Structure formats: structure tokens, C-alpha cells
Amino acid sequence: MSTAALIDHPRPSEAGGGVHAWAREVAALTTPQSVVFCDGSPAERERLTAMLVGAGALVPVPGPTGALRCAPDPADAAQVGRHSYVCARTPAAAGWAHWMEPVDMRIILTEEFRGAMKGRTMYVVPFRTRATPAGPPVQGVQITDSAYVVLCMSMMAQDHHAEIGFFGGDTDFVRCLHSVGAPRRTGQADVAWPCDTVQYIARFPEARTIWSYGSGFAGNAFLAGQPDVSGFWFGLATDDAVEVSEPESPRVEIDRPPAGGDERQRSLPA
């Protein structure tokens, strides 16, 4: 079956050929069951929320607010600091972060990602972050096999931290690739919070690329949305190259007001 045959949602007309070509390249490596281009719409958020509640990844919180909390696998690490690398041309360019030769890391991660999305949906999420004091807006494309990550990105857009579905160029974009690292065999039951015990975060500043593998936490997946990363790309790995992760006690809650109330959703720390 060709990669094009996997795509459930046609790519947006504003998404250039570079985006589509990269999505096909990633799909060929990771072999997902299907590919979906995301737009961040309310209907998409509702569909993803219902899917995650049904899977047990989001759990209703008792009370009148209708809030939901995430239920991560205890084996997953919200902080992947010691496995987080800056893969710049020289160690000095990585600042105080861990450094690895870009070619060596790509060899490692290519094998980890090979077939990593089997039995799962590959989501393609064009985005643009806001400008921050650390640097200019980041325009990029996030590819992930985690519906939870897509939902968290959508909530960032609701809080005006990023635009989802936006794309204004063809090839000049940050490429963000993430997988939970839990391929599914045909007929295999899924788990509520898929993840892998092997976890990596690798930033390739000269290539404007981030690869994240093994964790289900959004903070370990959508690194381009972190304020320091905008400055990181702008400065090409200077002192802004810091390790980004979620708090030690991660608990994301999604406010879901009663029917007829404000439909806005937001991410809240525990």
C-alpha cells in the first residue's frame, strides 16, 4: 500500500509540498496504520477528547466543573533530561546541555522510529508559535502518533500560545517528530498510556529538527512550543539550549464547563 493511500484527511491547500513530502517520508519509516492532517478545530478537539476518555488516558475529575486529568503510565518519565541531547556540529554549540554527534544520533533514532507507529494513527499538525522575548515565532510541523499530544497542542492554540493548522511556507519550517514508541500488532489491545522504557529527545539546530521518542507526555513531545526553543532556533544552540520537561508531578487537567457554558478548554498544572 502506498503512503498516499493511508491519508485519511486531505492536506490543507496552504500546506506546501515540502510538508506533504516530509509526512510521506516519516510514514515510510514509521509505517502507521493511517495519516491524519490536523486543523485544531473544536470538532477535532471533541473527537480526540472522547477518544482519550474512552481509552482511559483522560479520567473525569469528580465535581461540577467536568474537568479531566491525564492518567500516565508510572513507567513514563515526565523529565527526560539525562536522555535529552543537542546534536549540533560541535560540543561547544550545545552549551551546558548533553551533546552527541548528529550523525550518530540520527542512526540511533532512525532505528528506534523504524516501524514505531505500526497500528497507530500518525497525526500531522502544522503550527506557528507566538513571538517571545527569547526569539521570533516558530513555524513548523509536528508529527506524532499521540492523540494526547495533539489535544494539548490544540489547547495551546485556544490559549493563543500557538496557531494550529497554519502554514505559510513550503520548506522553511521546523520539523518536530514524536512517537510514543509503542507499535501495535494486528489485533493487539491498546493500553491507556502507550510509552517505551527507551526515551530520547534530540534537537538538531542546524537542521531545524527535533526528534522525541518513547514518552507520552506532551512536554516531551511538542518541544517547539516551549518559550526557550524559539530562542534556541534563533540563536542556533547557545545558552538558550536547556532541557525542557513537564513538572515532577505531572497532571494536566482540561476544564470542560457544563453544557451551554464557555467551550474554551485550557491546560492546568496540578
Query: What are the angstrom distances between the C-alpha of 154 and each of 130, 150, 157?
Result: 14, 6, 5
For the record, the C-alpha cell of 214 comes out as: 518513547
**For range 138-163, the mean pLDDT:** 83
Domains of the chain in sequence order: 4-55+74-249 (3.40.449.10)
The model's pLDDT over 30-87, given as tens digits with 9 standing for 90+, comes to 999 999 999 888 899 999 999 999 999 999 998 887 889 999 999 897 766 678 899 9
Question: d(Cα 89, Cα 226) in Å, to the nearest integer?
Answer: 23
Question: d(Cα 196, Cα 177) in Å, to the nearest integer?
Answer: 16
Question: d(Cα 124, Cα 34) in Å, to the nearest integer?
Answer: 11
Q: Say if residues 202 and 244 touch (Cβ distance below 8 Å).
A: no
pLDDT of residue 250: 38
Question: d(Cα 107, Cα 204) in Å, to the nearest integer?
Answer: 13
Give the DSSP letter of residue 68. Answer: E
Angle at CA 19, nearest 5°, toward 104 and 171? 75
Q: How many CB atoms lie within 10 A of CB 175?
A: 20
The model's pLDDT over 3-43, given as tens digits with 9 standing for 90+, comes to 443 434 434 444 456 888 899 999 999 999 999 999 888 89
Whole-structure pTM over 0.85, yes or no?
Answer: no
- Residue 230, helix vs strand vs coil: helix
pLDDT of residue 171: 58
pLDDT of residue 246: 34
Tell me how many helices (H) and strands (E) the chain has. 5, 13
For the record, the C-alpha cell of 58 comes out as: 483522560
Least confident of 6-20, 145-159, 182-196, 234-248: 234-248
Question: d(Cα 265, Cα 73) in Å, to the nearest integer?
Answer: 24
**For range 118-138, the mean pLDDT:** 84
